[in-house]
Homo-oligomer: A and B are copies of this chain.
Amino acid sequence: MAPIATSNLKNFKPNEIRADNISKFDPNFTQNVIDAMGPKTKPRVRKLMASLIQHVHDFARENELTIEEWMEGVQLMNWAGKMSDDKRNEGQLVCDVIGLESLVDEIAFKLVADTSDSATASAILGPFFRSDAPLLPNEASIVQGVNGGEITYMHGHVFDLQTKKPVPNATIDVWQASTNGLYEQQDEHQVDCNLRGKFTADSNGYYAFYCLRPTPYPVPNDGPAGKLLELLDRHPMRPAHIHLIVMCDRYKPVTTQIFDRIDPYLKDDSVFAVKESLIVDFVDLKGNPRASLELEYNITLSPY
Contact = CB atoms under 8 A, between A and B. Distances in A.
Interface in A269-283: 272
B106 A25 contact: yes
B74 A272 contact: no
A49 B95 contact: no
B99 A57 contact: yes
29 contacts: A25-B110, A29-B99, A30-B103, A36-B268, A37-B232, A37-B233, A38-B233, A38-B234, A42-B231, A49-B98, A53-B98, A53-B99, A55-B55, A55-B56, A57-B99, A60-B100, A67-B105, A67-B108, A70-B101, A71-B92, A74-B89, A74-B91, A75-B91, A77-B80, A77-B81, A78-B91, A81-B81, A81-B83, A82-B84
A11 to B, nearest CB: 9
Interface in A29-83: 29-30, 32-33, 36-42, 45, 47-49, 51-53, 55-67, 69-71, 74-75, 77-83
A66 B99 contact: no
Contacts of A102: 29
Contact of A59 (B26, B30, B40, B52): B52
Interface residues of A, number: 75
A15 interface: yes
Contacts of A13: 13, 15
Nearest to A47: B63
A104 interface: yes
Contacts of A106: 25-26, 29
Task: Rank and list the top 8 A-B pairs by shortest CB-CB distance, nearest first.
Answer: A81-B81, A38-B233, A33-B99, A40-B233, A78-B81, A78-B91, A74-B91, A55-B55
A75 B98 CA distance: 17
A218 to B, nearest CB: 15
A57 to B, nearest CB: 6
A189 interface: no
Given A33-B272, A49-B232, 17 more contacts: A25-B103, A26-B106, A30-B99, A32-B272, A36-B234, A37-B233, A37-B234, A38-B234, A39-B233, A51-B59, A67-B104, A67-B105, A74-B91, A78-B84, A78-B91, A79-B81, A81-B84
